[in-house]
Chain A
Amino acid sequence: MSVDTRSPGSPPVAGASRPTSPTPRSTWRAGRLIVLLGLVVVLAAVASVLLGSGRGPARPLDPDDTSLMGSRALAELLRERGVTVDRVDSTQAAVDKAATGDRLLLITDQAYVDVGRLAELPGDRLIVGDVIGLPALAPGVSTLPQAARPRSREPGCPLPAARVAGSAHMGGVAFRGPPGSTGCYPAGDGHTLVSYANGRGVTTVVGDGGFMTNQRLAEDGNAALALNLLSTGKPVTWVVPPENPPPGELAGEQGQSMYDLMPGNVRWVIYMAIIAVALTAFWRGRRLGPVVVEKLPVVVRAAETVEGRGRLYRARHARERAAAALRAGTIDRLTARLGLGHGAGPQEVVAALAARTVEDPHQLGAALYGPPPADDARLVELAGYLDLIERQLSEL
């Protein structure tokens, strides 16, 4: 048992004043561990960036990318087999390569290229995915509206490259080829691989490049299919998106960016504004002394339990209980007023009441001891009537 033994005579009072704010030394002592830890974290981050592989974000279907999404493995395999793989990142480079001889042009849906110029190049083509400008690159091939889920599919066609490779991870877009074309790896109404020959060379369209990635190359017949499609004996021109968007290709007469159009001071004005806002924030944010806490007593009105009970009655339409409570209260007051004992029966109360008021005894009996009211309106009526009886009695 804890006993509050504080003597009632004297409230706690006063002593000498002493400073409580931290000194610079104590601040340093308290914060040095955090500062050191922060330094360690920053150094570790800097070191990891500097010493790291310098790998940028993944570049899907890039012959130089070693991530899961890249295709470095396929390119290496091709080179081992004596196939020259040239990675080009612009339309101009592809056109230049094409001038050197008969080549296989590999265009994936990752590369945004000038379709018009590439479409005019002669030679074989391998088009992977839903490339923009497909009708120009592969005339006669149409894409079907419903996509095919990439999964392992059986070739189901006489094309030697696919038949030898067997099942492969295919899907993505389904195509319908022109008359005379060979469709493999069927999906729905179309095929996810369509190959046909025209005047320029053999054009092959594949719905998805998944089978060429480092991740999937070892599965199924993926490697075989990719090698069969690309090892045609011709050097491969592999078109990838450029590292940086080429400059000077912006809209407008001079091709200027928004930053070129801003006056030179604006950048510095923004820096100065940041400093000004920081100073103002520090001015407004510095509190004059500590926040004072205080244990406040709870604020709850004593009537809340009664109000809650009333609301429960109302919510459940508890007319029976409400009427019983109203009647009990009235009878309790009436018996005291009529000079009856607490054990007075219904007949006694009604008789005594009828003798002192002008009300009908039957009505009194029904109001005080009758069945519960049938609806809310009757309940209000009953409450009013009980009130009336009490008022009549008190006016005597």
Chain B
Amino acid sequence: MALTGRAGLLAAIGILVVMFAPLPGPALAGVCLLLAAAIIVDLVFAGAVRPLRFHRSGETLMRLGQRATVELVVENPGPRRVRGVLRDAWQPSAGASPRIAPLDVPAGERRKVVVTLDPTRRGDRTSVAVTVRSVGPLGLAARQGSHQAPWSVRVLPPFLSRKHLPSRLARLRELDGQHPALVRGQGTEFDSLREYVVGDDVRSIDWRATARRHDVVVRTWRPERDRRVLIVLDTGRTSAGRVGDAPIPLAGAEGRGGGLPAQSSLGSSLGSSLGPLLGPDSRPAPGWPRLDWSMDAALLLAALAAKAGDQVDFLAYDRAVRAWVSGESRTELLSSLVNAMAPIEAELIEADSQGMVAAILSRAKRRCLVVLLTDLNSAALDEGLMPVLPQLSARHLVLVAGVSDPRVAAMAGRRDSTEEVYDAAAAEHAQLGRRRITARLRRHGVEVVDAAPDDIAPALADAYLALKAAGRL
């Protein structure tokens, strides 16, 4: 049961009655009895909550940054009207609204309540309970009860880098020799012979074939197809660090954890125009975790590689396999990937590089391009990946992609005061470590992509295209 404000108000009026009554004791008893009787009558005549039935329908998949609606149909089989409020209790980061909806279901009828979800982060968002408070005819007391009407919505990664896809597909077509400008395909696999058209590169004329015919014939080449790309996502602790500005604010990005100042949103809006403010007091809102930027880059790479005719597999690993997608058809690949990525969060444990390499080697039997999305943290890589890297690079072509932190770059550039110079020295130290580990990786024959959060997806796509053009896959 629950009471309403009216019950409290009546009791407050009762105070006045008792104050001016000639017989205060009996007056108090009378007021209390009246109030109790009214509350009991209200409870008895309120519509029953327990027999209510709930039916749900609506979306189960959505992209982060979009809105989705879930419909909740309330069926009242009882003999009395259920009038009051309803709360559909979603997890906070589902961004459900309205939080509390008015409800009025006559006996034997059903009514629909529409809940709009505006989630603030990836993952599965569920509704924990539906609670109904059914107010009695006097409006003094209410019956209250909860029901389980489970529904879950999977919030997929937003794939913001798909805006880069058309330009990279155009580059891919150039490689393919299918470009309208008749640029010679730059691949290494012989495709076909065709007649010379003005504008073709004379170096690609096949003189032997030309000699057999009356026309000048050119060879066309195409990049290799049906190669394998294995995208490995490091979900260890280094992926939890937040970098850049969140394009879509994630849950907990503001005013949470570590006592961020209230003007953090102001700081980030200023930061976009003036460069991030640095100082002990102005701490800008943290951006996205490295993991999310890496996912964005992985999705662009997967889309591009699928178009290029390569087989894409996906592995997420920290100390155990978090997700594994393999053997998907080209049309299904992206939806499978976003589905697998949606519930993954960075674990606050050191990634087990040895186990990761073992997992890769056991899954990738044939030579493939292993794209490892991790942080280029010299300390973590020195202890983890570097000792086991030769095993991997002996059998596969390895590409390590790391998201750099623009804040560190900004710190390195500011040298006006003593504090800033010390910070700049720390930033230089970090950047130097990063450059050294990059150089060491390259000496091992590993390709390295190190780019800012906004550039990592196109940079990784370009690195893939360069490898494809060079025929190294």
Do A and B pair up? The answer is yes
Query: What residue of chain B has the Cβ atom nearest to residue A321's Cβ?
Result: B425
Measured between beta carbons, the chain A residues less than 8 angstroms from B49 are 19, 21
Contact flags B398-426 to A (C-beta < 8 A → 1, else 0): 00000001011001100111110111111
Measured between beta carbons, the chain A residues less than 8 angstroms from B323 are 4, 8
Query: Of residues A11, A296, A383, which shows the largest number of chain B Cβ atoms within 10 Å of its Cβ?
Result: A11
Are B145 and A19 touching (Cβ within 8 A)? yes
A259 contacts the other chain (CB 8 A): no
Are A298 and B15 touching (Cβ within 8 A)? no
A264 contacts the other chain (CB 8 A): yes
Q: How far is the CA of A271 from the CA of B29 in the complex (A)?
A: 10
Q: How far is the CA of A318 from the CA of B422 in the complex (A)?
A: 9
Query: Of residues A14, A15, A280, A289, which shows the largest number of chain B Cβ atoms within 10 Å of its Cβ?
Result: A289
Measured between beta carbons, the chain B residues less than 8 angstroms from A18 are 147-148
A275 contacts the other chain (CB 8 A): yes
Measured between beta carbons, the chain B residues less than 8 angstroms from A11 are 60-61, 124, 152-154, 339, 342
- The dominant DSSP class at the B interface is mixed
Are A380 and B415 touching (Cβ within 8 A)? yes
Binding site for B on A (CB under 8 A): 1-4, 6, 8-9, 11-15, 17-21, 23, 264-265, 267-269, 271-273, 275-276, 279-280, 282-283, 286, 288-290, 292, 294, 296-307, 309-311, 313-314, 318, 321-323, 325-326, 328-329, 332, 342, 376-377, 379-380, 383-384, 387
B428 contacts the other chain (CB 8 A): yes
Residue of B28, B346, B423, B431 near A307 (CB, 8 A) is: B423
Q: How far is the CA of A390 from the CA of B49 in the complex (A)?
A: 74
Residue of A299, A302, A314, A387 near B243 (CB, 8 A) is: A302
B130 contacts the other chain (CB 8 A): yes
| Shortest distance between the CB of A68 and any CB in chain B (Å) | 45
Measured between beta carbons, the chain A residues less than 8 angstroms from B445 are none
Query: What residue of chain B has the Cβ atom nearest to residue A309's Cβ?
Result: B426
Measured between beta carbons, the chain A residues less than 8 angstroms from B424 are 310, 326, 383
Measured between beta carbons, the chain A residues less than 8 angstroms from B240 are 297-298, 300
| Shortest distance between the CB of B178 and any CB in chain A (Å) | 32
List 14 extra interface pairs beyond A1-B320, A283-B7, CB under 8 A. Answer: A11-B60, A11-B152, A12-B126, A17-B147, A19-B50, A267-B24, A268-B18, A268-B27, A269-B15, A272-B14, A272-B15, A290-B131, A296-B251, A300-B240
Are A286 and B2 touching (Cβ within 8 A)? yes
Are B146 and A290 touching (Cβ within 8 A)? yes
- Given A286-B2, A290-B129, the answer on whether A17 and B12 have CB atoms closer than 8 Å is no
Query: Of residues A13, A279, A342, which shows the largest number of chain B Cβ atoms within 10 Å of its Cβ?
Result: A279
- Given A18-B148, A269-B24, A294-B91, the answer on whether A306 and B411 have CB atoms closer than 8 Å is yes
Measured between beta carbons, the chain A residues less than 8 angstroms from B114 are none
Contact flags B1-13 to A (C-beta < 8 A → 1, else 0): 0111101100110
Q: Closest 3 CB pairs between A and B?
A: A302-B241, A289-B131, A11-B154
- Given A283-B2, A380-B415, the answer on whether A307 and B426 have CB atoms closer than 8 Å is yes
Query: What residue of chain B has the Cβ atom nearest to residue A322's Cβ?
Result: B425
Are A288 and B24 touching (Cβ within 8 A)? no
Q: How far is the CA of A21 from the CA of B250 in the complex (A)?
A: 33
| Shortest distance between the CB of B76 and any CB in chain A (Å) | 13
Measured between beta carbons, the chain B residues less than 8 angstroms from A13 are 60, 150-152
B354 contacts the other chain (CB 8 A): no
Measured between beta carbons, the chain A residues less than 8 angstroms from B130 are 17, 289
Measured between beta carbons, the chain A residues less than 8 angstroms from B31 are 272
Q: How far is the CA of A288 from the CA of B103 in the complex (A)?
A: 14
- Given A9-B339, A17-B147, A269-B15, the answer on whether A297 and B5 have CB atoms closer than 8 Å is no
Are A301 and B286 touching (Cβ within 8 A)? yes
B121 contacts the other chain (CB 8 A): yes
Query: What residue of chain B has the Cβ atom nearest to residue A302's Cβ?
Result: B241
Question: Could you name 14 residue pairs across A and B whose Cβ atoms are closer than 8 Å?
Answer: A4-B321, A13-B152, A15-B150, A268-B27, A268-B28, A269-B15, A288-B87, A289-B146, A296-B256, A297-B346, A304-B241, A310-B419, A322-B426, A380-B416
Residue of A1, A3, A288, A325 near B133 (CB, 8 A) is: A288
| Shortest distance between the CB of A381 and any CB in chain B (Å) | 9
Query: Of residues A273, A276, A304, which shows the largest number of chain B Cβ atoms within 10 Å of its Cβ?
Result: A276
Q: How far is the CA of A275 from the CA of B18 in the complex (A)?
A: 12
Are A325 and B251 touching (Cβ within 8 A)? no
B93 contacts the other chain (CB 8 A): yes
B262 contacts the other chain (CB 8 A): no
Measured between beta carbons, the chain B residues less than 8 angstroms from A332 are 432, 435
B242 contacts the other chain (CB 8 A): yes
Residue of B252, B321, B435 near A297 (CB, 8 A) is: B252
Query: Of residues A2, A19, A303, which shows the largest number of chain B Cβ atoms within 10 Å of its Cβ?
Result: A303
Residue of A8, A280, A301, A328 near B339 (CB, 8 A) is: A8
Measured between beta carbons, the chain A residues less than 8 angstroms from B320 are 1-4
B345 contacts the other chain (CB 8 A): yes
B363 contacts the other chain (CB 8 A): no
Residue of A275, A283, A328 near B4 (CB, 8 A) is: A283
Are B252 and A296 touching (Cβ within 8 A)? yes
Measured between beta carbons, the chain B residues less than 8 angstroms from A19 are 49-50, 52, 145-148
Residue of A286, A300, A383 near B242 (CB, 8 A) is: A300
| Shortest distance between the CB of B45 and any CB in chain A (Å) | 18
Residue of A15, A17, A265 near B18 (CB, 8 A) is: A265
Interfacial residues of chain B within 109-125, with CB under 8 A of chain A in the complex: 121, 124
